[in-house]
């Protein structure tokens, strides 16, 4: 327990097992990004997976929309300490996209329109844990929240759910992405409070 | 990353009707870069804790730091910091945090700062760093506040400073005789008062999300390269 701040009472003491340590619940949907919001039209949008052999798997918007979709109802947790419960998304599972991808590498770098990157272990984006999401609450995903499509990896802090995603690159080592080079944790488990270096 | 450090309030000053600047003495802080933020933790007598992030208005070496805090309606921590915290009280801080939204004196590119409301806080750290190092790098600040009384660091910003140009815009109420009517920052304001894209200034935009969205998008329209426009957003 830290030192007591005189006069601070705080709010509810209800323990909530859904809320990771150090988080608070919000009804809003705050926006976090390091620069201007890129405007990417679905006409030019493309999603690409590259492997160490040079193999390239890619989908344009129409091809992505033709894949089986899933509805995801999940809590999300931002490293800036807000959590939001019961968010509703629709997207394509990365299991579907990775089905025909052959690689011996165990990590990926996600790349976004606008230059953002974030690193992930392959194990964290397979087996029903990650999606390319393009709808939020039944509506097309807004640009501020990563539209037309973003990663959705709800078991990690939300900076890992890269907005404006345009591809994955398989990588041999867990090289750090953008925020990971700028002070954030390499992995980002909200339940372990892996916020910063 | 280092752990929590105790900060004792050395000074606290009302800046606006809803905002306050708080100077903390944090033994072992060790300094920070202009633009960085910290996590502040407050603890109730029964051990309950709450943590929020706040921008730092100061930079450089030393263990004395200044925060600028705006009261969030219905918030849990900011009303306490703004309304209750007094000189001599203690809280804990962790940091400094953030390696992107920062300015260092060795950066030679012209700098355009654009702040909305309490979003001026990290920009103030950059202005102070610029001033303290007697930097010749051209600096401009465009600051949008609700009204004159809602302007953080009003007196300090009114002082002239070499190589710094300050423009104040008011969204709700402009002072009598002010050359521009009250209103939100427009494309015309940006054209008239900020560095143009063709000199490739380094741009820092901080404020509430709708403000930052609007300003950053307009800057890109005006030809600024997106990677030259660094943003920090707060609020829902």
Contact between B58 and B131 under an 8 Å Cβ cutoff? The reply is no
pLDDT digit string, tens, across residues B211-232: 999 999 999 999 999 999 999 9
Q: Which residue of A27, A35, A38 is in closest CB contact with B231? A: A35
Element (H, E) at A35: none
The average confidence (pLDDT) of chain A is 95
* pLDDT number for residue B235: 65
- The pLDDT of residue B107 is above 80: yes
3-state secondary structure of A10: coil
The secondary structure of A37-101, three-state, reads CCCCCCCCCEEEEECCCCCEEEEEHHHHHCCCCEEEEEEEECCCCEEEEEEEEEEEEHHHHHCCC
Whether A114 is in a domain gets the answer yes
Interface contacts A/B by beta carbons within 8 Å:
113
Subunit contact B43:A3, Cβ cutoff 8 A: yes
Distance from CA of A133 to the nearest CA of B (A): 21
Which value, in Å, is the radius of gyration of the alpha carbons in chain B?
Answer: 18
Whether A22 is in a domain gets the answer no
d(CA B69, CA B57): 10
B121 backbone dihedrals φ, ψ, rounded to 5°: -60, -55
Whether A164 is in a domain gets the answer yes
Two structure tokens written together for B42: 């407050």
pLDDT digit string, tens, across residues B35-46: 999 999 999 999
**Closest-approach residue (CA) in chain A for B228:** A35
**Closest-approach residue (CA) in chain B for A29:** B236
**Closest-approach residue (CA) in chain B for A81:** B52
Q: How confident is the model at residue A32 (pLDDT cuts 50, 70, 90)?
A: confident
A2 in B contact zone (CB under 8 Å) = yes
pLDDT digit string, tens, across residues B8-28: 999 999 999 999 999 999 999
* pLDDT number for residue A16: 83
What CATH number did the domain enclosing A128 receive?
3.90.420.10
Which value, in Å, is the radius of gyration of the alpha carbons in chain A?
Answer: 18
- Kindly state the average pLDDT of the residues A99-109: 97
Entry pTM? 0.93
Distance from CA of B178 to the nearest CA of A (A): 30
Q: Which residue of A28, A35, A81 is in closest CB contact with B236? A: A28
- Chain B residues whose CB is inside 8 A of the A33 CB are 231, 233
Whether A124 is in a domain gets the answer yes
- The pLDDT of residue A152 is above 80: yes
Whether A121 is in a domain gets the answer yes
Domain count of the fold of chain A: 1
Give the closest residue to B170 by CA, choosing from B153, B189, B155.
B189
- The pLDDT of residue B78 is above 70: yes
* pLDDT number for residue B123: 98
The average confidence (pLDDT) of chain B is 95
Whether A154 is in a domain gets the answer yes
The secondary structure of chain B, three-state, reads CCCCEEEEEEEEEECCCCEEEEEEECCCCCCECECCEEEEEEECCCCCEEEEEEEECCCECCCEEEEEEECCCCCCCHHHHHHHCCCCCEEEEEEEECCCCCECCCCCCCEEEEEEHHHHHHHHHHHHHHHHCCCCCCEEEEEEEEEHHHCCCHHHHHCCCCCEEEEEEEEEECCCCCCCCCCCCCHHHHHHHCCCHHHCCEEEEEEEHHHHHHHHHHHHHCCCCHHHEEEEEECC
Considering only residues 158 to 197 of chain A, which have any Cβ-Cβ distance to chain B shorter than 8 Å? 179, 181-183, 195-197
Name residues whose C-beta falls within 8 Å of residue A116's C-beta, 6 or more positions apart in sequence: A33, A34, A162, A163, A164, A177, A178
The whole domain housing A106 covers 46-74+86-192
Q: Which residue of B76, B90, B219 is in closest CB contact with A36? A: B219
CA distance readout (Å), B9 to A8, B66, B85, B134, B167? 14, 10, 8, 29, 31
Subunit contact A7:B89, Cβ cutoff 8 A: yes
Mutate to test the interface with B, among A3, A8, A82, A188 (most CBs of B within 10 A): A8
Q: Which residues of A92-121 are buried (b: 16+ CB within 10 A; e: fewer)?
A: bbbebbbeebebeeebbbbbbbbebbbbbe
Q: Which residue of B91, B98, B234 is in closest CB contact with A183? A: B98
- Chain A residues whose CB is inside 8 A of the B229 CB are 35-36
Q: How confident is the model at residue B236 (pLDDT cuts 50, 70, 90)?
A: very low
ipTM: 0.88
Side-chain half-sphere exposure of B225, counting CA atoms within 13 A: 8
**Closest-approach residue (CA) in chain B for A7:** B84
Subunit contact B227:A31, Cβ cutoff 8 A: no
Contact between A178 and A188 under an 8 Å Cβ cutoff? The reply is no
- Kindly state the average pLDDT of the residues B137-149: 97
Contact between B122 and B206 under an 8 Å Cβ cutoff? The reply is yes
Q: Which residue of B42, B101, B219 is in closest CB contact with A5? A: B42
d(CA A93, CA B80): 44
Whether A100 is in a domain gets the answer yes
A31 in B contact zone (CB under 8 Å) = yes
**Closest-approach residue (CA) in chain B for A185:** B1
Bigger pLDDT: A183 vs A197: A183
**Closest-approach residue (CA) in chain B for A194:** B1
d(CA B223, CA A124): 38
- Kindly state the average pLDDT of the residues B96-113: 95
d(CA A115, CA B43): 39
Whether A144 is in a domain gets the answer yes
């Amino acid at each position: 327990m830290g030192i007591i701040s005189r006069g601070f009472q705080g709010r509810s003491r209800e323990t909530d097992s859904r809320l990771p340590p150090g988080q608070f619940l919000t009804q809003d949907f705050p926006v976090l990004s390091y620069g201007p919001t890129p405007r990417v039209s679905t006409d030019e949008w493309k999603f690409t997976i590259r492997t160490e052999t040079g193999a390239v798997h890619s989908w344009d918007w129409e091809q992505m929309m033709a894949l089986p979709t899933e509805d995801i109802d999940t809590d999300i947790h931002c490293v800036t300490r807000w959590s939001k419960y019961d968010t509703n998304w629709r997207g394509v599972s990365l299991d579907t996209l990775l089905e025909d991808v052959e690689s011996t590498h165990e990590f990926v770098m996600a790349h976004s329109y606008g230059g953002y990157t974030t690193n992930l272990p392959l194990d964290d984006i397979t087996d029903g844990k990650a999606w390319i999401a393009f709808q939020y609450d039944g509506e097309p995903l807004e640009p501020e929240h990563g539209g037309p499509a973003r990663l959705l990896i709800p078991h990690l802090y939300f900076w890992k759910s890269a907005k404006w995603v345009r591809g994955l690159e398989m990588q041999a080592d867990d090289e750090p992405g953008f925020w990971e080079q700028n002070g954030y944790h390499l992995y980002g488990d909200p339940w372990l409070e892996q916020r910063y270096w | 990353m280092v752990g929590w450090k105790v900060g004792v309030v050395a000074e606290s000053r009302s800046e606006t009707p809803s905002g306050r600047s708080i100077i903390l003495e944090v033994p072992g802080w060790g300094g920070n870069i202009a633009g960085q933020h910290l996590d502040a933790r407050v603890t109730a007598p029964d051990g309950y804790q709450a943590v929020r992030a706040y921008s730092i208005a100061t930079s450089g070496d030393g263990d004395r730091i200044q925060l600028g805090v705006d009261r969030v309606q219905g918030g849990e921590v900011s009303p306490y910091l703004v309304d209750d915290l007094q000189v001599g009280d203690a809280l804990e801080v962790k940091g400094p945090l953030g390696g992107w939204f920062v300015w260092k004196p060795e950066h030679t590119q012209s700098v355009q700062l654009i702040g909305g409301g309490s979003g001026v806080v990290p920009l103030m750290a950059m202005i102070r760093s610029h001033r303290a190092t007697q930097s010749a790098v051209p600096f401009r600040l465009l600051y949008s506040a609700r009204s004159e009384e809602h302007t953080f660091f009003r007196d300090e910003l009114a002082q002239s400073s070499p190589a710094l140009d300050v423009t104040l815009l008011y969204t709700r109420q402009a002072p009598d005789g002010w050359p521009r009517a009250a209103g939100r920052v427009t494309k015309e304001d940006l054209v008239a008062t900020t560095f143009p894209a063709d000199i490739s200034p380094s741009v820092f935009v901080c404020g509430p999300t709708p403000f930052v969205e609007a300003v950053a998008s307009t800057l890109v329209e005006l030809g600024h390269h997106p990677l030259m426009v660094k943003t920090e957003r707060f609020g829902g």
